Amino acid sequence: MKIVIIGGGFAGINLAKALANNPNFQVILVDKNNYNFFPPLIYQVATAFLEPSSISYPFRKLFSGKKNITFRLAELLRVDTKNNKVILSNGELEYDQLVFATGAESNYFGMENVRKNAIPMKTLNDAVEMRNRLLQQMEKAAICEDPRRRRQLLTIVVAGGGPTGVELSGMFAEMRNGIMRKEYPELANTLSDIYLVDGGKAVLAPMSVNSQQNTYKALTKLGVKVRLNSQVKDYVDGTVYFADGKTIKTETLIWAAGVSAKLFDGIPETVYGRGKRMQVDEHNKLKEFPNIYAVGDTCIQVTDPKFPNGHPQLAQVAIQQARHLAKNFKAMVAQKPLTPFSYNDKGSMAIIGKNKAVVDLEKPKVHFNGFFAWLVWLFIHLMSLVTYRNRLQTLYNWTVAYFSKDQPLRMIIRPGKNDDTSS
């Protein structure tokens, strides 16, 4: 059976690994990047506490020695469902089974100025761009003599009160309170603001009330200005505009406020549901096609009795769906009945800052926060990295950062661009 997987994130990687070295399957993984990366930690790359290589790994190295898995560096242009082919940016591939594992992208809710001028937080490229932008802003502020302009350069607005927004805000606050004052003496007495804004009534909306309250208190204690019920409407000429008429002047708007799946040429509009997610049955199969599947963030499945409105777009959902689909492919080859997918919700967590995190477990239903929650967060994320090399490198960087309260990774690297920071 020839299986083509589009996308090498959590879902794509776990599906391919579950089918590795099985002679019944020929697996081809297609991705526009030649590496897998770990999205929950890209904010640490963005804030210069980890190098990109700490949370990424080349696909070809990852699948080296897996005789039935090959990798194709390409973008998907179109699906030819009649002839069971995918048209790629560098050729075509035929398939017996096609699996979409394409994840999600930033959703700007139709705000073109926000799309053009804000910094998204979805890819490794986004993280490196943010790191460069933040460092450039601090260098500009260091030589700026106008106090108002300097404050605008240093003010950061993070839109989105989910885990990414919370983690970024906490990290920025700790950097402002420590690193910036040590390394930028010119800015020691400069006022700067970090805002976390969200259109809802609480941060970490999907988590427990205890987690929401603990997070709010911890962020405000760090000096983050949390604005709830504040919906961004526009971002023009260095000013963020809100639906209630309020504004914030900033050169840095970070967008972590929503995601949307992607549309693909060749897949009819009737397949897509809420958030452009492909509607799938209990086996993750597109209802209109007998041999096309979707797993992870790119699909919505309403057949699970525990999640009648669809599963949350989380890494654990993607991983479990991918592994379950692999079992069904094996059952298909063995001519055994397929089993429906059921999500095992293990809970959720978010880190706020050093020694500060919140964790909600489902079984048993327990909430805890503070230092122990922080250790749990570190352990889970460390063990979730794809290779031992990534784990050791990340652990080393975290250890250095913990004891030194710093990390010497703040280099502005812009391939192919002028290195003059004044430009």
What positions carry a catalytic annotation?
A: 167
Instruction: Answer for the pair 244, 56: CB distance below 8 angstroms, yes or no.
Output: no
CA distance 42 to 174: 17
